[in-house]
Structure 1
Amino acid sequence: MESSSSEVTDSESKNDSQSKQDPICVIILGMAGSGKSSVCSKMVEYLFGKNIPPYVVNCDPACLSVDYFCNVDIRDSVNYKNVMEKYQLGPNGSIITSINLFATRFDQVLQLIDKRKESHQIVLFDTPGQVEVFTWSASGSIITESLSSKYPTIILFIIDTIRSTNPTTFMSNMLYACSIFYKYKLPIVIAMNKIDVCDHKFALEWMQNSETLEAAIDKDQSYMACLNQSLVGALDIFYQDLPVVGISAKTGAGLDDLLEAFKRAAKDYYENYRKEYEQNVLESRMRSMELKKDEIISEDLDDPLISLK
């Protein structure tokens, strides 16, 4: 859509019957430069090679091209540059507005996923480079909550292993992952990317033994060191049972482990998260009914033909 009028469609035309098992929806998040799109591309290649073709949704309206097969592409329904010109927005403002427009049609994406679910066990969502554009926007919440209320949904948080050798960068990534986990209340899998260049064992050690992380922070003479030291203990609870997988978007190393982590996270969703989301949906419907009732009563009271006795 040049703005928001176009219908969302996908690259498949065949109508599939309903599946007995819902697909696992994987929302790929991470800091800019962590390799989200590269991981998505390699994951698509890997899953096709395993004869598990994924259903892929690109949610980045500003990317020039994608190097993976894409079933639903936000760029087919929202023109990023036209949005920028029409609403006189900067790059980030246009990305947010484009995703907002896409979110208004997300019910159509859900319908497409439902039609194709017999043929796809995994649904991958590639998100914009700036993580906050999706994570902290209303449209990001709408998309995530719409998915998680219907399908097993997990967060895949990508971390740049090379940059995370710096304790401050490592703590920043973990704090962001923690905030996303508590915001969406969904299973999260941490993927330490670029292990073909830098092994991620140091990060595992930092998570498992806070003393080693504190020792690394002590070597930092910046003002951030004090903040990092205070956060070490606070994040210990978050690290407990946190699935962390080392992967390489270049070589494909670790993708077998990542797929298994998806399956465990989906099981965790059904056992620990689904009931809460069903309860939230029920409460939301009840609130909507109450609001509708209040609106009807208010309209009736404003009607001059109705008198109160």
Structure 2
Amino acid sequence: MSPYPSGNETRATLIVGMAGSGKSTVSSCLKARCESKGIRTYTINLDPAVRQLQYEPNIDIRDTIDYEAVRKEYSLGPNGAILTSCNLFATRFDQVVSLCERRQDEIDHLLVDTPGQMEIFTWSAAGTIVCESLATSFATTVLFVVDTPRAKDAQVFVSNMLQCLSVVYKTRLPVVLAFNKIDVVGYEFAKSWMEKEELLRESLDGLSTYSSDLAISLIAAMSKFYTELIPVGVSATRLIGIDELLEALDLVQ
């Protein structure tokens, strides 16, 4: 029996973020924590180039698409091979969704781990197919993972928020922000920057005039966007904040 309230359908979480943010580690932690709470998970790995995962996916793109073979056959670079591999897999994604629908009584939460280079997935035909297919059949949320130590640099923070905004614009799905690696650096600075625009402006002092003007323009444009986001601090390696992250996902779904 599902631990979720009666009447709730299977939920899906698309896990995205910039390279190195810790998406796969977060996926692994969420899977483990869900299962310890009696939440039946079903995990899908969409990264064809990943060499090793910390969890055993139920569906793995690598089982049907050989990234190295695609790279050689089409004479592609790393990113081109990832994109092509994802596009090839996307032509079969309707079968993945159909399988999950047939097993809906056995699945509470779908966890979808996306490729390391998020822009390759988010703005590709494959990304569109995956997002729309999941959202049509399941209550779907995007989990945007941020590398907190790197985001302490105000420019990197703005870049992350701009990427997150682009995901919201492209997918039209609710988004939860997971500030990962808080065992290294706390995320209070990020909450302050999101709540008080002037603090982020002050942190951008010292940039070149062009960079500063551009960043300030972006800050002004994103201020309303912040009010719709739920930020959660987590450490996937230390298992900190995972329950709070699940609560945030429940709230938006």
TM-score bucket of the superposed structures, by smaller chain: over 0.9
TM-score between both structures, scaled by the size of structure 1: 0.78
Alignment of 1:24-173 (within 5 A): 24-173=11-160
Amino acid at match of 1:90: G
1:224 CA displacement: 1.8
- The whole-number CA distance in structure 1 between the counterparts of 2:78 and 2:107 is 34
Identity %: 46
Alignment of 1:167-186 (within 5 A): 167-186=154-173
Q: Does 1:249 align with 2:251?
A: no
Amino acid at match of 1:260: E
Which has the larger displacement, 77-86 or 184-193?
Answer: 77-86
* Aligned-residue RMSD, C-alpha: 1.4
1:228 CA displacement: 0.9
- The whole-number CA distance in structure 2 between the counterparts of 1:223 and 1:172 is 15
Amino acid at match of 1:51: G
- The whole-number CA distance in structure 2 between the counterparts of 1:173 and 1:147 is 24
- The whole-number CA distance in structure 1 between the counterparts of 2:29 and 2:236 is 6
Amino acid at match of 1:157: F
Which has the larger displacement, 183-192 or 86-95?
Answer: 86-95
Flag the structure with larger Rg: 1
Q: Which runs of 5+ in 2 are unaligned?
A: 1-5
Amino acid at match of 2:16: L
CA deviations over 1:16-41 (Å, ceiling 9, x no partner): xxx96421110111000111111111
Aligned residue for 2:3?
A: none
- The whole-number CA distance in structure 2 between the counterparts of 1:21 and 1:108 is 23
Aligned residue for 1:203?
A: 190
Amino acid at match of 1:115: R
